[in-house]
Amino acid sequence: MVSLLSIGLRWGMQLLALVFLFYFSASTNSEGLRINQTFTPGELWWDNEGTHINAHGGGILYHDHTYYWFGEHKTAGRGGNTALVGVQVYASRDLLNWSNEGVALSVVDEAGHDIERGAVIERPKVVYNESTGKFVMWFHLELKGQGYIAARAGVAVAEEVTGPYTFIESLRPNAQHWPVNMDADFKNQDVDLDQYEWWTPRWRKAVDEGLFVRRDFEGGQMSRDMTVFVDDDGKAYHVFSSEENLTIHIAELSDDYLSHTGRYIRIFPGGHNEAPALFKHEGRYYMITSGCTGWDPNAARSAMATSIWGPWEMLGNPCVGEGADLTFHSQSTFVLPVAGKEGAFIFMGDRWRPRNPIDGRYVWLPIKFEGHKPVIEWHEEWDLSVFDE
């Protein structure tokens, strides 16, 4: 009996020692900093201090040989869906190992301020303006205590990539400008907004013809889920879900990236697209979006155009295999071109946890191309060598 117990104990101790050795030799360096060697979509993702990365709905800027990941800082519990801290930034040289660089844009403790603590700050995207030498952050803003009614875009600027970012303003874009691709006949129609009912064929036609653009013409267009894309010629575009989340707008930004020029197009009117992520490959523009189901995942969509001004063509769901119908339980936020690897793009998605937002997970997957169609497959665990295959 005693010897059985001691054998059991010995085996147990050896097993523990093995687990301990494996864990620490494989995952920390000599300074005790955590080392990650693979992407593990949907798992906890540790920064180099061993804390789950807190940068949801994020985007990445590659600057001076370093990747900067900006995202929503979330906290625990339902209230964590609002901005109680601000926009967080992490830095990495290899996309796997991230140092926490702190809060890039802080919420403000001033009642009535646009970015008052408790407002909703989502999907921050930072771009670098070569001509001004400044870093510009755009984000989706909902004013404190107003749910998702405000539908505004916020802009902030910084001298240093990690901040601090200074809030400039929030707005509804393109007030008093008609979209470039809106039929001239529709612009000046006298429309009785009350004559349309939700989802009747007539209502759908009215959306196509710019019902909401007209409604919001004076005060500016609604702007919720968003991204910013900088083209090879340095022009930047703000891409957002507008018109009650029914229609995507692609809007040109001014040369300093701080405002809209008033030139914009509407794409897929009534298509119900959220979570836009844009990238360019071999001269073609690609967009990945989701449908609109709140925090719950749905099937992604993809689209392509040879000019950013369209026409845009729908390509269908880029995801394939098991889980493709729910984007592998995630929603797009950004597509990252991997530096130095021509044609290598990473789909970045969020697996939201609205009841405990700080526990939200990241689903990053490699994008491959079948002809001109982007294709995303599930990988339990992967690294950048997949792009060498």
| List of residues contacting ligand DGJ (CB under 6 A) | 57, 122-123, 225, 274-275, 294-295, 331
Q: Which is nearer to ligand DGJ, 48 or 81 (CB)?
A: 81
Please state the closest distance from residue 232 (CB atom) to ligand DGJ, in A: 28
Number of Cβ within a 10 Å radius of residue 101: 19
Please state the closest distance from residue 254 (CB atom) to ligand DGJ, in A: 25
Pick the closest to residue 274 from 309, 310, 246 (CA basis).
246
Please state the closest distance from residue 347 (CB atom) to ligand DGJ, in A: 15
Q: Contact 91/101 with Cβ under 8 angstroms?
A: yes
Q: Which is nearer to ligand DGJ, 58 or 210 (CB)?
A: 58
Q: Which is nearer to ligand DGJ, 258 or 376 (CB)?
A: 376
Report cis status (omega within 30 of 0) of the bond before 201: no
Please state the closest distance from residue 138 (CB atom) to ligand DGJ, in A: 14
Q: Which is nearer to ligand DGJ, 50 or 294 (CB)?
A: 294
How far is Cα 218 from Cα 322, in angstroms, rounded to an integer? Answer: 46
Query: Which residue number is nearest to ligand DGJ in terms of Cβ?
Result: 294
How far is Cα 121 from Cα 110, in angstroms, rounded to an integer? Answer: 16
Q: In what order do the strands lie in the sheet with 361-370?
A: 319-320, 373-377, 361-370, 345-351, 331-337
Q: Which is nearer to ligand DGJ, 187 or 329 (CB)?
A: 329
How far is Cα 132 from Cα 6, in angstroms, rounded to an integer? Answer: 71
Q: Which is nearer to ligand DGJ, 54 or 331 (CB)?
A: 331
DSSP string, 327-351: TTT-EEEEEEEPTT-TT-EEEEEEE
Q: Contact 131/259 with Cβ under 8 angstroms?
A: no
Please state the closest distance from residue 226 (CB atom) to ligand DGJ, in A: 9
Please state the closest distance from residue 284 (CB atom) to ligand DGJ, in A: 25
